[in-house]
Amino acid sequence: MKIDVDKALRRALNTGKVYLGSKRTIKALKKGDAKLVIMANNCPEEIAEKLKQFEIPVITYNGTNIDLGATCGKPFSVSMLAIIEPGESEILNII
């Protein structure tokens, strides 16, 4: 079963708990709160490198940080986000 990442992400944003931005994502990873990380395909390399120290699934979003921000319904770019609680979303089934 193929999951539509955009749709699953929007549902997680509406019904679950999602942290937007690399700083909040890394903070959530350090605390052990994040279940999944999604990063834009143009996420800066130095930020992407920080993810390697954590044992967590990372999905590279098929779009830029502007596309990821738009999918999240935000008027700004989002290079990375963390799924804390998926809510009614099937997003964790991607991994």
pTM, entire model: 0.93
Fold classification of 5-94 is 60s Ribosomal Protein L30; Chain: A; (3.30.1330)
- How open is the CA angle 20-38-13, to the nearest 5 degrees? 50
Question: Which pLDDT does position 2 carry in this prediction?
Answer: 65
pLDDT exceeds cutoff 70 at 1: no
Q: What is the pLDDT of residues 37-94, one digit of tens each?
A: 999 999 999 999 999 999 999 999 999 999 999 999 999 999 999 999 999 999 999 8
pLDDT of 3 > 80? The answer is no
The domain limits of the chain are: 5-94
